[in-house]
Amino acid sequence: MTQNPLLASISSLIDYAGVKPEHIRPAITALIDETRRAVERAADDSLPATWEAIVDPLEDASEKLWRAWSVAGHLNAVVNTPELRAAYNECLPIVTEFSTWVGLHTGLYEQYKRLKDSSNFAQQPPVRQRIVDLALRDFRLSGVELVGEQRARYAEISDQQAQASQKFSENVLDSVDKWSLHVTDAARLAGLPADVIQAAKQAAEAEQREGWKLVLKMPCYIPVMQNAQDRSLRHELYRAYATVASEQGDASLDNSPLIEQLLALRAEEAALLGYGSFADLRLETRMADNAAQVLDFLRELARKAKPYATRDLTELQAFASEKLGLSALEPWDIAFVSERLREERYAYSEEEIKQYFTEPQVLKGLFHVIEELFNVNLRHSNAPTWHSDAQALEVRAADNTLLGTLYIDLYARNGKQSGAWVDSERNRRNIAGLIQTPVVYLTCNFSRPQNGKPALLTHDDVITLFHESGHALHALLSQVDEPGASAFASVEWDAIELPSQFMENFCWEWTVVQAMSSHVDTGKPLPRALYDKLLAARNFQSGMQMLRQVEFSLFDMSIHHQAQGLSMQGVMEALNAVRQEVAVLFPPSWHRFPHNFSHLFAGGYGAGYYSYKWAEVLSADVYAAFEETAVAGPDDTRETLNAATGQRFLKEILAVGGSRPAAESFHAFRGRQPSIEALLRHSGMAEAEPHL
């Protein structure tokens, strides 16, 4: 075999174009063996109890392993093939077993206790003290104090959870990829945007078929639900997406048994570690103190939002009846009717706005915001990527110092997991005085360019891109030299969304919108009149949107705040109970929302989905500081791109990563405890409750 790209020096970039499925198993097994030896050496109690003797050598070995595994996982998510999936799944059990073995390694645990108890611990830098404290906590939460049968069972649970989560993810991907609807009657496509129709035609042509191929990928699904005048077409796609990976489709892709298995395993894991529920276990590592605090927080948001949501729905029903002749508003009508109401009320459509947001100009605008706030530059790199869609960028300081590498992969395609996310391949680290820079992936699923024109983004797509850029910046602009305190390693999960949600706010600022808009045909920026309509519609149906997030979060806490697992029937009953408590919209009985909820069952958000709203309180309050320091801009606008405030945000939030608790970082930036007021104001809920 030629040289394995996954075994390249940690100091070099991965040759993605050269990575093959057959490289994965040899690389992972070799690196596990190397890291296992490093763990055993670090656990030698004859070593001096120093950072240099115990932690540094362990980091040297383990970062090579986790870099290779991160690359394998990323490729499995973005260019999934049967061969790649098989190679990844072949390694998953041995990686899980190794990770569990490290967490249960009593000798290594004792070494960290020696570090903590050493005479010079108090003289260590605070970041190293925090890493040791977090390591001791994580050892305990990894079952290191378990013995005998309990220890063996914990290891089995870890392996089974990893396998079940991976299978859940595969079932969703396969279920979405396999479903399509072939349309031969052009009349059924009435109302759809031209680029969506063109993409559907090209998809059919690729299979040597006449007509149009509709799929469940978001660049197709959302425009159909928002714009298709054919109600039966909306119903057909809605039902297909609502039953993804459920018992109502291919039995081999049904996630029901995996949901039951994961809930049972999580409850058993929590019980083994002495916790009453998986939620109690998870909250040990969060800003929130306990489940009761989270539930109170969510119910308070629901109380604030429900009057607005009720008003939103009443208006929608009245409009559907009076203007569209729909006496009964069905779930597959909601997006369509909402779009018509928004068009009438604010006199613009998503399709009209989309013409101004071409991908190259949006990226240019995003880079402008980053450069203005944080005094860095983003430049294209020739580093090899995994697909022609992907591109590499270098992030450089004002003095041209390399700060990190960012890979972006923006288009939807078969074999690519849906959604948007950021992950890191390599962390910043100081090695003998030389800085190893971070490497980060930013992945989205937008529509592709067509007919020689650039890709067009909806404003929601633009917000998604800015959101994910916030995550990326958290890793790329870190000044933390110890990987154990990097943002993704140790920032509390319910604070990790702060930078991402913060960045979303700039998508609504006039000067930013001007800089990142350029009409696909004329090149002109978004007109002020159209911007004013977009801004006026910012909180359109914000009550229903907030309740939806609260519903998801309460459901998550409900099924994980249990002493044991639940049957699928119990899961659906829990979901229905939450809806009865807070929802205003109720889907059909055949809807299988949990089966496609990858955040909970394959994405690490189990007992943590509330983090989005929790962090939104923080991010809205942080952005309020930019509003408070805004200066007068053109056309009676404010200019929130305040470099001085941006530098404070960089210094107190982004640069410190997880080197201190998130609450301390927030306080350092804001000078006080967080307040919910900015979130309510940004959501249009600061005024008195609406009359219903």
Q: Which long-range contacts (CB under 8 A, 24 or more apart) does 19-23 make?
A: 19/71, 19/75, 19/386, 21/81, 21/83, 21/84, 21/86, 21/87, 22/87
3-state secondary structure 491-544: CCCCCCCHHHHHHHHHHHCHHHHHHCCCCCCCCCCCCHHHHHHHHHCCCCCHHH
Q: Using CA of residue 192, residue 195, residue 200, residue 205, what is the dihedral sign? A: positive
Contact 176, 217 (CB under 8 A): yes
Contact 59, 429 (CB under 8 A): yes
* Cα–Cα distance, 288 to 492 (Å, whole number): 9
Question: Helix, strand, coil % (nearest 5) of the chain?
Answer: 60, 10, 30
Exposed/middle/buried for 417, CB within 10 Å: 0-12, 13-18, 19+? buried
* Cα–Cα distance, 102 to 178 (Å, whole number): 39
The helix (run of H) or strand (run of E) holding residue 87 is helix 82-103
Exposed/middle/buried for 390, CB within 10 Å: 0-12, 13-18, 19+? buried
3-state secondary structure 337-357: HHHHHHHHHHCCCHHHHHCCC
DSSP structural state of residue 691 = P
Phi, psi values for residue 589, rounded to 5°: -65, -25
- Indicate the residue type of 465: L
Residue 395 CA neighbour count, 13 Å, CB half: 27
> Pick from 321, 358, 365: which is nearest to 341 by CA?
321
- Indicate the residue type of 552: F
Three-class SS state of 288: coil
DSSP structural state of residue 404 = E
Q: CA dihedral defined by 221, 225, 226, 228, rounded to 10 degrees?
A: 100
* Cα–Cα distance, 475 to 365 (Å, whole number): 21
Contact 281, 275 (CB under 8 A): yes
- For residue 638, the tally of other CB atoms under 10 A from its CB is 16
Exposed/middle/buried for 381, CB within 10 Å: 0-12, 13-18, 19+? middle
Q: What angle do CA 63, 68, 70 make, to 5 degrees?
A: 90
247 is catalytic: no
User: Which of 359, 468, 482, 492 does the annotation list as catalytic?
Assistant: 468
For the chain, give me the number of helices (H) and strands (E)?
27, 11
Exposed/middle/buried for 545, CB within 10 Å: 0-12, 13-18, 19+? middle
* Cα–Cα distance, 338 to 311 (Å, whole number): 13
The label of the residue with tokens 């396999």 reads 178
Phi, psi values for residue 672, rounded to 5°: -165, 180
Task: Show which residues are catalytic.
Answer: 468
